[in-house]
Structure 1
């Protein structure tokens, strides 16, 4: 007998509240709930679901949470479970955005944001290295390098490079099999000059056009929010990324801070709605075909190019994030954070909290603020 919706809401809401640490933590919590404790899903089916959502664009851990709720309680359960997984972190990050993006926040709060933001580039390198190491092969190097270069230099056009890498990998696979693959051309429409239309396009890129999730969305948002539309300063954007790391739930919540900068709470909710909607649509529309997706060689060939390019983009995003720092003490925090994260393998959330506390103390001591 399937569990009641109240159980889905309670269990998925709990994961949304305690899910610090990004996708690895979310996957572990979902596995403990659905496979080990409740035994709603068989272990091999859970592993297949992880593989399937990694073939889809957008935030994989969000899609996995929606899929697990779908398997347990059908479409209505998927909607309830997915929303309860997303909402706790979304509410918290919007409340923090209101404080950090206020017209005149207290100096200690500005310092905390500047300190945590200074560590973000090191977090990006840690995330990229951790993801690349298990899947490292010589054939992936060109895609990784292209993704890193694009994230460091192309900003809003990064999504085109990710798609092009996937299509190039597919074309090479088809030609190796003796199938003619015509030249590939990409046409991408861009949003208008700003406002809610541009915000919707940014959120759509985050939720439906990005492979790799997590930090791969950072250069996409940074180019739109800071360089193209000037919704935020570099310092404010770094704060937004840090908030996305220290709050529970998916890192895609960061787009809600960008939306808040554009149009307040309404803008934040709109950005989150557009960014997360594709995850629900992909899963509700295709959950029964996940096994077919895993056997589809064309889909796997596309991912063989797009996925390593996305991982390279995570590494490349560290360059514009570090370049946005303006104070000497932020550079010192970045160096210390890199030591903690890369050499000592400290946790991401504790490192960001230490960096934020250091920044707050520097501000209270009268240090310069960005």
Structure 2
């Protein structure tokens, strides 16, 4: 869908009911990990509805990229809070989780009862192709808005090379970008200003008029107090099941182990799901024995091709852990509770970080130094999303990847002979549909799934 014409008119503040419907729509379309999910939110909230301007959206994104946990879900929570305070944040953040929770729970049941189902796997092939096109579109759109200066283009390129070729930890990339932006601002470099930040153009006026109206003034004391209460409630909801399990079941119980382990993961998962998967797989397979080798990849395949945060793969781990180790007469009931417990302790902290931090980050929007630092982070995010796009393309179109290490350089290169022509063809068609035919998100994703199933039906 094309962006609405910039005719100078500011759309009215959405009602809570209207915003709720839009958050549900975003949640159902949020495929493809953080890159695709951020692209969906930007397209709907900024371009289509024009409820939030570019500057405030990017400012919120920068803050979320610095937090542990899934940045896309936290961005939804932050944006919901901007529009309707704490209740808006709760609804936006929870709706973002629900489709993935329900879908992966259903697929987990299928997985342990029947194993892999061909038609489901075929649909996933088509969805992956559509997601690749959406991620590439996100790189192009965000890059065109953000990389307006040589400094920001250099930061984006550096971030891409650092992660793609040198495996530099994501937090280090983000912190380095922020430091570069801060130093450049101190040195008086004009191009260090955040894209679309103070003085950045007309988009900022529409943003202030639509989001910071009298009905949802994010800087008001009432909104800040409401956010503080919501943040403390989120912390209480996080600690409650962990404390009860320690008191009632004690250590050594599989549910207690799940609560403690994934609460720890909630504190250290900087960089999203990919940054945490290797550690989770090692501990779940080697230390706890919850999963068999290779099952983590099956779970990741579910999370990559269903709506919601990629970190939802952890629900699959908790499901299998409780299914095998709870010792209940109804193992599927135990597995369901194990999966829900993982989701609870994974996402409750995410709400806490947003509600406790967002009011203070909003107050600092006018700071030139902070704007320069966060603007550099935004530029680095483009490089990070480009890396995700390349990673996704390689793993979607090729069955085998060759790890090459030369000194400090570490590359994952595709084995050309292992190309999956069906997946590559569907990806090429999806890219044409997005960039040439300008097909909408639902059409691209639904069409990809349908083509995948159709090819499976004829034996391809």
TM-score in same-fold range (> 0.5) = yes
Structure 2 equivalent of residue 312 of structure 1 = 383
Structure 1 equivalent of residue 432 of structure 2 = 339
Structure 2 equivalent of residue 146 of structure 1 = 158
Residue 81 (str. 1) matches residue 92 (str. 2)? no
- Residue of structure 1 aligned with 2:356, choices 265, 281, 306: 281
Give the Å deviation of 1:50: 4.4
Structure 2 equivalent of residue 160 of structure 1 = 172
Change in Cα spacing, 1:28 to 1:345, as seen in structure 2 (3 Å) is: closer
- Residue of structure 2 aligned with 1:133, choices 126, 139, 144: 144
Judge conservation of contact 1:114–1:239 (CA < 8 Å) in 2.
Answer: no
| Pairing 1:236-315 to 2, within 5 Å after superposition | 236-244=299-307, 253-263=309-319, 264-283=339-358, 285-286=359-360, 290=362, 292-315=363-386
Change in Cα spacing, 1:293 to 1:269, as seen in structure 2 (3 Å) is: same
Residue 114 (str. 1) matches residue 137 (str. 2)? no
Change in Cα spacing, 1:254 to 1:354, as seen in structure 2 (3 Å) is: same
Give the Å deviation of 1:243: 1.9
Range moving further from structure 2, 15-24 or 194-203: 194-203
Q: TM-score, normalised by structure 2?
A: 0.57
Q: Counterparts of 1:222 and 1:119 in 2: how far apart (Å)? A: 23
Give the Å deviation of 1:360: 2.0
Judge conservation of contact 1:259–1:270 (CA < 8 Å) in 2.
Answer: no
Give the Å deviation of 1:236: 4.3
Judge conservation of contact 1:156–1:223 (CA < 8 Å) in 2.
Answer: no
Structure 2 equivalent of residue 75 of structure 1 = none
Q: Which has the larger radius of gyration?
A: 2
Judge conservation of contact 1:96–1:243 (CA < 8 Å) in 2.
Answer: yes
| Pairing 1:4-153 to 2, within 5 Å after superposition | 8=16, 10-19=17-26, 20=29, 21-27=40-46, 50=57, 52-57=59-64, 58=71, 59-70=74-85, 78=86, 80-101=87-108, 102-103=111-112, 104-136=115-147, 137-153=149-165
Identify unmatched segments of 5+ residues in structure 1.
1-6, 33-42, 71-77, 178-193, 211-216, 245-250
Change in Cα spacing, 1:197 to 1:304, as seen in structure 2 (3 Å) is: farther
- Residue of structure 2 aligned with 1:174, choices 186, 189, 211: 186
Give the Å deviation of 1:301: 1.8
Give the Å deviation of 1:112: 0.9
Q: When the two structures are aligned, how many residues end up with a matched partner?
A: 305
Give the Å deviation of 1:308: 0.5
Q: Counterparts of 2:375 and 2:56 in 1: how far apart (Å)? A: 18
Q: TM-score, normalised by structure 1?
A: 0.69
Judge conservation of contact 1:226–1:234 (CA < 8 Å) in 2.
Answer: no
Residue 350 (str. 1) matches residue 443 (str. 2)? yes
Give the Å deviation of 1:61: 4.0
Judge conservation of contact 1:117–1:239 (CA < 8 Å) in 2.
Answer: no
Q: Counterparts of 1:309 and 1:198 in 2: how far apart (Å)? A: 31
> What's the CA shift string for 1:204-260, capped at 9, x where partnerless?
566xx56xxxxxx4654666667997776556434423323xxxxxx5x33234433
